[in-house]
Structure 1
């Protein structure tokens, strides 16, 4: 369960989908003059170098951010975070979701990041030193269970597992439902891959039964390399923010145009 290393996949099409929606949601939430809490259960290292050997080996960013970024408006919150990160860390830097959140939130907001992998946790801690983030080397679902409902109660949870253990597809709906019972006002977001095997289907059926009013947005794209089983990206959102349907439509159009 600790073998997954996202730096091989940073900036891929699924990252663009996930991070563009996340940046939009966080930007929407901070417009209101009330503090919020951001919780992430599978944080990774927060910052990636698309020029390092691992990223170049897979070449996934070339089919993701390098191809899709220009299709978004310059004022889009995702593009703003990309520009800020490149200015600060160099032209090949790419922000993970913890850094997107840290750069969007305000001083009055609270940031909780969980990462179980010891190496990734150490790098995450180093990358987030200048922000007042609570960084936990802990199972993310256990962390969310422990701190929900958080203070402030307003906010967003991102669940972004690697799905390298097939049992996650069975356990996630129950874990997600437990968190929702404790934090019924939170924007609860789950990312999932669309796979040629259809492994995600049963999980989504269970989630839809638990949350019939949730928003589900999916984009599809060609495999990033021969033999790759991921053919799309999905976001399951409980308590979706106002206006997100229009943002989803824009992203659908973007991916369809580049597909």
Structure 2
């Protein structure tokens, strides 16, 4: 959606959930020396200044990274990726911090302003950026070269048909790329708008991993009360890390 800019939400609790599990998955995948592909369908600008006026307006990072960062050990891959950047890293910067020169990154962003920032920020030789619809790009790239790899699907969900389109899209992608790790993020809203989509995804991919966390609204009237990730072909060994993430988001007095 061309009106959406993630700077208003960067570093919120959903980002912490999403980026921490992404970092852990990439850590597992890079334990083997073979190269891999990383595909991102909704990349944003890559890096976010949490002191920028847009971020200061919503203050969502206050209830996210600022509240939760100290609950991670210093050697967690998410914390290592944070320390490698001057500003808060979006998922493209998380990936570039943890991946290797032999790995290939494909980053799609449709918003002109966000894409310009992404292209300026992500300039490593193994990074390819695209100003186009990310779901269509992913379809065209699959199966990627190298064939091993991970795809992050992170829509804004401000377009309602994204909920209904994603299950059909995922089925098409996994038919072409049956070995790829595909992570789909979704917001948990007070309306429970994600529930039919999650039911359809689970019915089509019963072996996928589902992980959800809950957290307080970032501000009065905010409708997001949790974050979910649906992971097809999760890396071996990832499940135990979910219990740790549960402790990060548990309510503490």
Secondary structure of 1:233's counterpart equals strand
2: CA distance, partners of 1:79 / 1:258: 21
Q: CA deviation at 1:258?
A: 4.3
TM-score normalized by structure 2? 0.98
In 2, are the aligned partners of 1:68 and 1:258 still within 8 Å (CA)?
no
Q: Residues of 1 paired with 2:35 and 2:194: CA distance?
A: 34
Q: Give CA-to-partner distance per residue, 1:55-87, whole Å, 9 cap, x none.
A: 1111110100011010011000000011111xx
1:27 shift after superposition:
1.1
**Secondary structure of 1:231 counterpart:** strand
Provide Cα deviations, 1:217-255, integer angstroms capped at 9, x if missing partner: 000001000111100000000001112111111001110
Q: Could you say what secondary structure the match of 1:25 adopts?
A: helix
The answer to whether 1:143 aligns with 2:167 is: no
1:224 aligns with 2:218: yes
**Aligned-residue CA RMSD (Å):** 1.0
Q: Distance in 2 between matches of 1:245 and 1:131?
A: 33
- Shift of the alpha carbon at 1:22? 0.3
Partner of 1:123: 117
- Return the match for 1:247 from 223, 241, 245: 241
The count of aligned residue pairs is 253
CA distance in 1, matches of 2:89, 2:106: 17
Stretches of structure 2 lacking an aligned partner (at least 5 in a row): none
**Which string of whole-angstrom CA distances, capped at 9 and with x for unpartnered residues, describes residues 84-125 of structure 1?**
11xxx2xxx100000111111111111000001111000000
Structure 1 segments unaligned to the other structure (5+ residues): none
Q: TM-score, normalised by structure 1?
A: 0.96
Deviation at 1:167, TM superposition (A): 0.8
Q: Superposition pairs for residues 32-181 of structure 1, below 5 Å? A: 32-85=32-85, 89=86, 93-181=87-175
1:115-170 CA-to-partner distances (Å, cap 9, x unmatched) read 01111000000011245311011111111110100010000000000000111101
Range with greater deviation from structure 2 (218-227 or 123-132): 123-132
Alignment match, 2:8? 8
Decide whether the 8 Å contact of 2:48 with 2:89 is kept in 1: yes
Write out per-residue CA displacement over residues 154-212 of structure 1, whole angstroms, 9 at most, x where no aligned residue. Answer: 00000000000111101011011111111000001000000100110000010001100
Report the Cα offset of residue 11 of structure 1. Answer: 0.3
Contact 2:180 2:233 in 1 (8 A): yes
What is the SS of the residue equivalent to 1:189? strand
